[in-house]
Amino acid sequence: MDYSILAEGMPHDAAGLVVDVHSVYAQLLEIPDPRQRRGCRYAWAFILLLIVLAKLAGEDKPRGIAQWVRARAAWLVKTFDLARPDLPCANTYRRTLSRPDTAEALDAHVERYLAQLPTSALGRHIALDGKTVRGTIPTGESQGLHLLAAYVPAQGRVLRQVAVDGKENEISAAPRVLDGLDLQGKIVTGDAMLAQRSLSAQVVEAGGDYVWTVKDNQPSLRADIAELFAPTAPLAKGFNTGPTDFRQARTTGTGHGRIETRTLTASSLLGGLHDWPGLAQVFRLERNARLLARGTTRHEVVYGITSLSAPAASPARLLDLVRQHWGIENGLHYRRDVTFHEEAGRTKCWPLAHALAAIHNLLLGLLPHAGHHDLAQARRHFAAHPDDALRLLLARPG
């Protein structure tokens, strides 16, 4: 099929194709070309643009990207006024994405682009969570590319992403994720691994608040919280166990074949007694789930800490924050795996997988902002209408 007629709808002036300075392509143009000039047939930003364009249209691997682009060669040659009619092969895309500097540059410029998207309220809640790209785990081994992201559940947007080096873990990578982010008035949530004194102090000193769950990696703190909420044996008549400030919230929900009741009990009693940085409240979260198909029940107790005071965060608010935190699983990890087939890829090249993950973060922020909330449907639309996809990448975000 000849797509060249579509070029007539692209914005041009006397100098050629018009690119808005706030567009995705403008960000790609700012990425330095790491190659030696000799032998380079295609501009670096143009190769990256073709990758993102084909990604929008549903292609997820270098071979598929190359085939999709070459099938639309006439349109692209006319639109970009290319001197050569042939377009990059699959190995060109593979080499481009396999450079460690490509992944790092894409992370930085995706962050920069998404930060400029207009929004009425970005949301106060920032969820920190990591994800291992399972397709990068070699056979017989357990370690693959692990990415830690700061994610805004209210907007479905990644603020920052870093690769966790094979010699470190999320504990040492988390400060790098938060460093430089505007945490003033924000609430940072994370799982038990991130319940660290230094990270808590970093959040509070930056003007934010934290909510962490606490497990056996902080045995003393966990024991103190468990003892506070432990049932107390009744004393002799006329005596009481002393004052408590326990406050409670409960929700019941159904879904995924189960009925689950969540009860969160919060207290400020340890706030002035414990030396944990910024500690204001502790809480006990009890989950009781009835699995309908099996007719069995499941019980779990989780403890947590927060720098939010009781007036600033009621038990209902804390319960909501803990539940929203796991929205990163459906809003980010699931969409990258299912819609963009991130885990279906089988590559042992970590920089390639990292670069693709950065592009996925870009599209997860860009498409909903452009009004496309069903991402699979959006990709089918752009596969049929590549001119719309290119306009989206060349235009100022609305």
User: According to the model, what pLDDT value does residue 353 have?
Assistant: 94
The stretch 250-269 carries a mean pLDDT of: 89
Contact 53, 71 (CB under 8 A): no
pLDDT band at 5 (very low <50, low <70, confident <90, very high): very low
DSSP annotation string for 127-163: EEEEEE-GGGSPTT-----EEEEEEETTTTEEEEEEE
pLDDT in tens, 170-214: 999 999 999 989 999 999 999 999 999 999 999 999 999 999 999
User: According to the model, what pLDDT value does residue 122 have?
Assistant: 60
- Separation CA 141–CA 220 (nearest Å): 33
Question: Is 60 exceeded by the pLDDT of residue 270?
Answer: yes
The stretch 380-388 carries a mean pLDDT of: 95
Question: Is 58 domain-assigned?
Answer: yes
Question: Is 170 domain-assigned?
Answer: no
Q: Tell me which residue of 293, 286, 227, 229 sits closest to 256, measured CA to CA.
A: 293
Question: Is 185 domain-assigned?
Answer: no
Domain region containing 69: 4-108+346-394
In the chain the first and final C-alpha atoms are separated, in Å, by 31
Residue 274 burial by Cβ neighbours in a 10 Å radius (0-12, 13-18, 19+): middle
Contact 202, 193 (CB under 8 A): no
Question: Is 103 domain-assigned?
Answer: yes
The stretch 322-332 carries a mean pLDDT of: 89
Question: Is 288 domain-assigned?
Answer: no
Rg (CA), the chain: 25
Question: Is 147 domain-assigned?
Answer: no
Domains in the chain: how many in total? Answer: 1
Tokens of 267: 């207290």
Question: Is 137 domain-assigned?
Answer: no
pLDDT in tens, 303-325: 999 999 999 999 999 999 999 99
Question: Is 369 domain-assigned?
Answer: yes
DSSP annotation string for 252-292: EEEETTEEEEEEEEEE-TTTTT--STT--EEEEEEEEEEET
User: According to the model, what pLDDT value does residue 23 have?
Assistant: 93
pLDDT band at 7 (very low <50, low <70, confident <90, very high): very low
pLDDT band at 4 (very low <50, low <70, confident <90, very high): very low
User: According to the model, what pLDDT value does residue 228 have?
Assistant: 93
Please give the mean pLDDT across all residues of the chain. Answer: 88
Question: Is 90 exceeded by the pLDDT of residue 21?
Answer: no
pLDDT band at 135 (very low <50, low <70, confident <90, very high): confident
Strand 157-163 relative to strand 258-267: parallel, antiparallel, unpaired?
unpaired
Contact 171, 194 (CB under 8 A): yes
pLDDT in tens, 206-244: 999 999 999 999 999 999 999 999 976 554 555 555 567
User: According to the model, what pLDDT value does residue 121 have?
Assistant: 55
